[in-house]
Amino acid sequence: MATARSHFPVHSELPSALAAQAAGVAISALAGYALAPVSPLFMALAQAVAAASIARLLRQPAWWLILHLSFAPAIIAALALHLDPLWYLGAFVLLALTYGGVHRSRVPLYFSGAAATNVLLGLLPPKARFLDLGCGIGSVLNRVGRSGIVAQSDGVEAALLPWLIARLRARGRYRVRREDLWHTDLGRYDVVYAYLSPAAMPALWTKAIREMNPGSLLISNSFPVPQKRADEVRAWGAGAADVLYVYKLLPPVVGEIPTRASVKFRTN
């Protein structure tokens, strides 16, 4: 039985990032005034270090620190190349089409490699209904659809360009929808695969226990659910984070958030 879809907001880091950048500009301006004369490169490096330091104090994710460290130096480097302004416009449009909405969802575009997908295939129950949550360009969906293991292989992707590439690659092997992953009904699937980010995992787990059926599987690449022990951990590489975390949804007990009625894997 279908239920209303729920949106689980993931708070934006953008205000903190803007505050860190503004503080970095102010600090670098003061440093430049005190040490004048200084070069534009010095100002850019000072702003980058100051912004990253403020972001660290604000407890922003590590990938934001990389952006802070590279933003101002990248501007100086780009200006030194004397490129036509249309190149900047083109780069902005390309990034917007590829990563649009990352500042809201805190879910960047990751690609699941062949090794991770091989392990994932070994975890799929026969005739299950499979969902790749945030499927990117459809690499995992393509392998799962070609394997013939599952009865249904679906994906959702919000960013326009990856969604378009995934759709063009489908060729009847899977279905892909352009959709916000937080609006996707997980209760329609027996296995949900996600390669999101640490920031998104608490909200994803809350969504999973509200919507997924008992006995279904949530499989997360690289990022565990905080304070929740995985039922199974499968390594796909040599790195500490190169693992798949497998969570089996259980029937609710008194005091827990209710889930739907149990639905077994389809066998025909």
Hey, what are 97's tokens? Answer: 């089409």
Beta-strand relationship, 129-133 and 191-194? parallel
The pLDDT assigned to 112 comes to: 86
Q: What is the pLDDT of residue 10?
A: 41
CB atoms within 10 A of CB 149: 17
Q: What is the pLDDT of residue 5?
A: 38
- What is the pTM (predicted TM-score) of this model? 0.69
- Please give the pLDDT value at position 75: 87
The DSSP bridge partners found for residue 176 are: 155
Residue 35, beta-bridge partner list: none
Q: What are phi and psi of 140, to 5 degrees?
A: -70, -45
Q: Which ranges in the chain belong to alpha helices (H)?
A: 14-35, 40-57, 62-81, 85-99, 102-105, 114-123, 139-147, 160-170, 201-211
Largest CA distance in the chain: 76
Q: What is the pLDDT along the chain (268 residues), one digit of tens a residue?
A: 333 334 444 445 678 889 999 999 999 999 998 999 999 999 999 999 999 999 999 988 787 889 899 999 988 888 888 878 787 777 777 766 666 665 555 566 677 889 999 999 999 999 999 999 999 999 999 999 999 999 999 999 988 889 999 999 999 999 999 998 899 999 999 999 999 988 889 999 999 999 999 999 999 999 999 999 999 999 998 888 899 999 999 876 555 544 444 433 333 3
Q: How is residue 203 written in tokens?
A: 């909200």
Environment class of 122 (CB within 10 Å of its CB; exposed 0-12, middle 13-18, buried 19+)? exposed
Q: What is the DSSP pairing of strand 152-157 with strand 217-221?
A: unpaired
Q: What is the 3-state secondary structure (H, E, C) of 69-109?
A: HHHHHHHHHHHHHCCCHHHHHHHHHHHHHHHCCHHHHCCCC
Neighbours of 64 (CB within 10 A): 22
**Do residues 61 and 13 make contact, with C-beta atoms less than 8 angstroms apart?**
yes
Say what the pLDDT of residue 262 is: 40
- CA atoms in the 13 A half-sphere facing the CB of 70: 6
- The predicted pLDDT at position 229 comes to 94
Distances (CA, A) of 260 to 3, 6, 154, 216, 257: 9, 14, 21, 11, 10
**pLDDT the model gives residue 251:** 74
